[in-house]
Structure 1
Amino acid sequence: MHTSRRTQTLSDATSVPGRSRVWEVDVLRGFALLGILLVNVQIMAGQQVGPEGELVVSQSDKVVEWLVTALISAKFYLMFSFLFGYSFTLQRASAERAGAPFAPRHLRRLICLFLLGLAHGVLLFSGDVLMVYAVLSLVLFWVRDSAARTLVRAAIWLIVGASACLLAWGMSTVRFAEPLGPQDISSTVNASVAAWRGDPGSVVGAHLRVLHDTLGWNVVYSADMLAALLLGLAAGRRRILADSFRYRAWLTQIVICCLPIGLAGSVFMAICRNGPLDARWYDVGSAVGVLTAPFLSVVYVCGLLLLLRTGLGRRVGCALAPAGRMALTNYLTQSLVMALVFTGYGLAWYGRFGMTVLLLGCFALYAAQLTLSSHLLRHVPYGPAEWLLRTATLARRP
């Protein structure tokens, strides 16, 4: 009886009458793609340098960078992680409806995701997170039957613990490290310019060097990513996204309570990362960001869910959902386009633009992705990367 009840709950949590997908999940994924793009472009495009190798930062660029750090950095990858955890319940229910064992499906999916991430990290963008998701999803499988309350408690402890460790490291840096001078920063930037503007071999070599450091930082930040995965799993059990209309008052209260905390922490993080405090405060800001960014991420999710209950919100959701349905394809496409624009694979414009210009370019690329996703999905059921991942998951053509 217990097994039957659990199966029924999982199936109910992921099926909505008349819909084969949870529309809200696709909308949130489509929205998160813009935030991911705005963060990743700063890494892939580099800091603008002048003809003599000096850093060039206009006042408008400083403002845009500061706002992106405050409002977007560390928020949207948490949103993606939450949605990844939520989708775990959808995939499990899909296997149950098909009468197929879930474990082999899940393992095949993670292997494919890891290999996609490895290729992405080596060839296109060394800041790849797909490999991290693949590894952390093994933990998700292990705790799949844990009580929702247990998952939430574990998530809180992970966030607090990661923040405390980063804060201890950051305070030691503030106390003992010497501030970086302009010459130190300039030499580092110029070395990056030479690598990313070089031939394809130079670009791949740079990816491999950076990937080593990136994987190390992913270990540090994997705690809050895992926390978001666990919260997504708990939310999937309660159908919070699919049945968000039932939680309107609760969602409103969350926005009101979480917004001040999230904004305060985000402002402090931006002050530490982008000034007026110097670079020694970077990790202190990151520690506060790890602790408070989830509050702002929750505000974005709940705010968008509330918006979707309005006429304007439904139109916005219809524009975002197709891009979210093929979020993996769009994520990889963003990296491909930026690699062709900023590295030696193509135009080699690394370090040539400030953040203001990059912001406009990101909006243009994102608008194109919304349009193309909508057009493509009128003719085919999946994006290319989604088709590949689904084929690997099912071990047959979908």
Structure 2
Amino acid sequence: MKVERVELMDALRGFSLIGILLANMLHFQFGSSGVEIIESANLLDKISYYFVKIVVEGSFYPIFGFVFGFVLIKMIESREASGLKYKNIVFRRAIGLSILGAMHIALVWEGDVLLTYGSTLFILLVFFLKRRVKTYFVWGIILTAILGVGAYFGSSFIKLLKPLTAAEIMIYQDGTYAEIFAQRIGDFIIGDGLIFLLTLPIGWLFLTIVSFLAVGPFVLFGIGMAKKGAFLQLANSTQTYKKVAMLVPVGLLLKGFIIFDTPFSLFIYSAGTYVLAIGYIALFAWLFNRYQTQMTNYFAPIGKLSLTNYLMQSIICTIIFYGYGFGLFGKLGVFVGILLSVIIYVMQLKISQLYLTRFSIGPVEMMLRWFIYLKNPRKVN
């Protein structure tokens, strides 16, 4: 039995990268001082800031998680269809992603998600990979409810976050790589690092649980939809996707509550991020069915190289904004950051298209698959 590859998932993964870059751009530019800087920004930057918060932030990582779960199950089904085992493959993938994530945090940028997905894979491997379809949706809803409760009380936690001081901002703007490295993780190594190392098993367990809470709902939804055979026959479900896509304006309306300072704003906003993510997935599937050739040509290549492109976004942006590069940290404004995100993404689209005319797999994807399969990835079934 041959397991069908769902081309939509490559394109959807590629589409999610523009949202991830736009959301990350605020942190690349301003770090944890973003909110304070916006309060004194001009009107264009304030509009741009809320555009990112409402249209983008929090709604594209769920899409990436959905694809992650969907593709994971398709890989497992493919292995099983060929009479091969999958558990060691998933285990090494979890380790590989965790190592890449830890290196990303230590060497480039602290806003990593690879470690999160690597940690999530461990929980999936132990508890979730051979369950009934209903189980994935039930647990996805349970985790969503838990996050909703967290969002309700989350405003108090956000107020505890320490904004960057003027001295810390200067380090990001003018510091050397060594100084920025120390700024990024120095407090951990000198202060809480020893405590963490002494309690490493507990710390790792805590990280794994938090990671699963963060991305688990849509990963589980993706697994459930893959097991249901969704997206294999797009033409047969066009009207369904079109109806579900109506969640897009609903999600935008809910996320718009972030503008208002009420005790429930963060909770409503958080609910909107998930509603909007579901709407975006359905809208993309509907458009993909109508314009499959065009959307495959544009979005699938960058999606197939998503790991390489994700890491390159961090490298490019830290060079632009940090002192060991152009030192533009906090200087360009949110609107210019949006334009810069679009330029970087379009460049990655074109480069990915050209790259795949000569190679079948990205450089980082190649290294990860060597580790996972312990042989040349091109020879993997």
What TM-score bracket applies, with the shorter chain setting the length? 0.7 to 0.9
Match of 1:326 among 305, 308, 330: 305
* Structure 1 position 48, deviation (Å): 12
Confirm or deny: 8 A CA contact 1:27 1:324 kept in the other structure.
yes
1:210 offset after TM fit, Å? 8.3
CA distance in structure 1 between the aligned counterparts of 2:65 and 2:218, rounded to whole angstroms: 5
Unaligned runs of 5+ in 2: 194-203
Preserved contact between residue 48 and residue 56 of structure 1 (Cα < 8 Å): no
Q: Paired residues, what number?
A: 358
Residue 357 of structure 1 pairs with residue 336 of structure 2:
yes
The 1:54–1:231 alpha-carbon spacing in structure 2 relative to 1, beyond 3 Å, is closer
Q: Is residue 315 of structure 2 the alignment partner of residue 344 of structure 1?
A: no
Report the counterpart of residue 96 of structure 2 in structure 1: 112
Q: 1:241-256 residue pairs with structure 2 within 5 A?
A: 241-256=231-246
Correspondent of 1:77 among 61, 72, 81: 61
Shift of 1:90: 1.9
* Rounded Cα–Cα distance in structure 2 between residues aligned with 1:25 and 1:153: 23
SS of 1:308's partner is: helix
Checking the alignment, whether the CA contact within 8 Å between 2:256 and 2:269 is kept in structure 1 is no
> Which residue of the other structure, out of 156, 169, 185, is the alignment partner of 1:208?
185
Quote the Cα distance in structure 2 between the aligned partners of 1:210 and 1:338: 23
TM-score, with normalisation over the residues of structure 2?
0.86
Correspondent of 1:307 among 267, 283, 287: 287
Identity in percent: 24
Deviation, 1:224, is 4.5
1:218 to partner: Cα distance: 9.2
Structure 1's unaligned 5+ residue stretches are 1-7, 16-20
RMSD: 2.9
Structure 2 residue aligned with 1:3: none
| Pairing 1:155-194 to 2, within 5 Å after superposition | 155-170=140-155, 188-194=164-170
Alpha-carbon offset, residue 261 of structure 1: 3.4
Tell me how far 1:107 sits from its aligned partner.
Answer: 0.9
Cα gap change, 1:217/1:284 in structure 2, threshold over 3 Å: closer, same or farther?
farther
| Contact 1:224/1:290 (8 A) holds in 2 | no
Aligned ranges 1:227-266 → 2 under 5 Å: 227-256=217-246, 258-266=247-255
Query: 1:47-58 to 2 correspondence within 5 Å?
Result: 57-58=41-42
- Counterpart contact for 2:117–2:211, Cα < 8 Å: no
| Aligned counterpart for 1:150 among listed residues 135, 141, 161 | 135
| Pick aligned residue for 1:28 from 4, 7, 12 | 12
Structure 1 residues 122 and 148: CA distance shift in structure 2, 3 A: same
1:195 shift after superposition: 2.7
Distance 1:233 1:133 in 2: 14
Q: Which stretch shows the higher mean deviation, 134-143 or 65-74?
A: 134-143
Question: Within 2, Cα distance between the matches of 1:63 and 1:100?
Answer: 53
1:210-248 deviation digits (Å, cap 9, x = unpaired): 8899x9999657425101110010011122133332221
Deviations 1:266-290 (A, max 9, x none): 1113x15xxxx3xxx6x95443333
Work out the CA distance in 2 between the residues paired with 1:210 and 1:299: 40
CA separation in 2, counterparts of 1:221 and 1:57? 33
Deviations along 1:345-365, one digit per CA (max 9) or x if unpaired, are: 311211111011111111111
Give 1:115 deviation, angstroms: 0.5
Task: Determine helix, strand or coil for the equivalent of 1:92.
Answer: helix
Q: CA deviation at 1:146?
A: 1.3
For residues 266 and 155 of structure 1, the distance between their equivalents in structure 2, rounded to whole angstroms, comes to 21
Q: 2:367 aligns with which of 361, 384, 388?
A: 388
2:339 and 2:244 mapped to 1: Cα distance? 32
Shift in alpha-carbon separation, 1:112–1:218, aligned structure 2, 3 A: closer
The corresponding residue for 1:5 is: none
Taking structure 1 as the reference length, the TM-score comes to: 0.82
- The match for 2:171 among 195, 201, 204 is 195
Output aligned runs, 1:279-294, within 5 Å: 285-294=265-274
Shift of 1:91: 1.6
The equivalent position to 1:370 in structure 2, one of 321, 326, 349, is: 349
| SS of structure 2 residue aligned to 1:46 | helix
Q: Which residue of 1 aligns with 2:22?
A: 38
Aligned ranges for residues 90-101 of structure 1 at < 5 Å? 90-101=74-85
Contact 2:66 2:219 in 1 (8 A): yes
Task: State the 1:80 CA deviation.
Answer: 0.5
Q: Is the 8 A contact 1:248 1:306 kept in 2?
A: yes
Amino acid at match of 1:162: L
Alpha-carbon displacement from aligned partner over 1:130-158 (angstroms, at most 9, x marks no partner) = 11111111222221121111211111111
1:375 positional shift: 0.2
